[in-house]
Amino acid sequence: MKALRVIAPHQIEIKEVPDLVADIGQLLVDVERVGICGTDVELYAGEMAYYRSSRTTYPVQLGHEWVGTVVSVGSGVSSGWIGKRVTGDTMLGCGKCERCLTGKTYLCDSRIEIGITDGWGGALASQILIPEKFAFEVPDSISIAAAAMIEPAGNSLRSVEATGLVENQKLLILGAGTIGLLAAQFALAKKLEVHIAGNRATARELAKELGVHHIYSIDEVKSNSKRQFDAVIDASNDDSMPNLAIDRVYPGGRVVLIGLSETPSLIDTRVPVLQDLTIVGILSASPGLQGAINYFASGAVNPELLISEVISLEDVADRLEGNRGENAKPGPKIHVDPRL
């Protein structure tokens, strides 16, 4: 099969590799669509923290936001899976430790992250393997494009749910990339009053199209120093945003952190003490995947406007360098069809 691998910083190789075979408990999937995200850019550029801790070494086969059709199953797996469209969790816990046994497989110390850490090739290939217990069936009512958005959507849904807000409460989202815009869509579906701030004018246009109630530039949020939100989600990669978040939320409110900046973001911890704030970190989509599937399947959230273009494996390196396609639409998410 064909696979794309990062072999050194800024160096990609696309080549024929041995075909995969489903082992005990696994599904073999023909990949139909893959999203690329900030993590892939970091892995490509050699900047991902996992390289420094040797959790990831070259070559890395990218791709952790994906959908495809099951073509065969390993022993112990029902053949009923064959022909079904599936996506999968990225975080494969060991299944034996205390965290795995209490359902927090995504926090397992010895977890594999598909397409990110060593040892499990990602979906930028003709085929991918997924253990049955980490596979999710995708209902027919979800398009292929939307299905490849389930992984980022799981992260966004968890972020919105972590705010604890109910109808009509005010949520500010900092960052209008894929995670921020998807969070805005879930927040709208939950009937929150949704405010979003982003630097890119095209992203703000898109937020408007999605029906977000109030849209700002980051500078506008910085210059209005009032506390005026019940909760704030930082979905940016800007190290100054967590500080801004704790300064804009009402006393007693919540700040949810899902963005990761390249450099540490420092906050004055006296602020959350004196304002009685709750700060929550969100790692991984895992507990949010089924919820995201349900929102997409019911039509309550449709993420397709967030997709800018669908490219072949050959064009991936160019986009990871930060280029955009000639016919790219304004959405922040680039999709890959490995069959092209």
Q: Give residues in contact with Zn ion (CB under 5 A).
A: 37, 39, 93-94, 97, 100, 108
Q: Are strands 91-92 and 85-88 parallel, antiparallel or unpaired?
A: unpaired
Q: How far is CA 59 from CA 13, 29, 132, 195, 328, in A?
A: 9, 21, 26, 41, 29
Task: List the Cα angle 104/265/320 in 5-degree steps.
Answer: 75
Which residue number, 91 or 210, has a Cβ lying nearer to Zn ion?
91
Nearest approach, Cβ of 97 to Zn ion (angstroms)?
3
Considering Cα of 52, then 4, then 157, then 241, what sign does the dihedral take? positive
Nearest approach, Cβ of 64 to Zn ion (angstroms)?
6
Nearest approach, Cβ of 204 to Zn ion (angstroms)?
22
Instruction: Return the residue nearest Zn ion (CB atom).
Output: 108
Nearest approach, Cβ of 18 to Zn ion (angstroms)?
26
Q: How far is CA 248 from CA 181, 273, 338, in A?
A: 19, 15, 43
Which residue number, 152 or 253, has a Cβ lying nearer to Zn ion?
152
Nearest approach, Cβ of 115 to Zn ion (angstroms)?
9
Count CA atoms closer than 13 A to 272's CA, side-chain side. 18
Query: Token match 């894929």: residue?
Result: 178
What stretch of H or E contains 151? Answer: helix 150-162
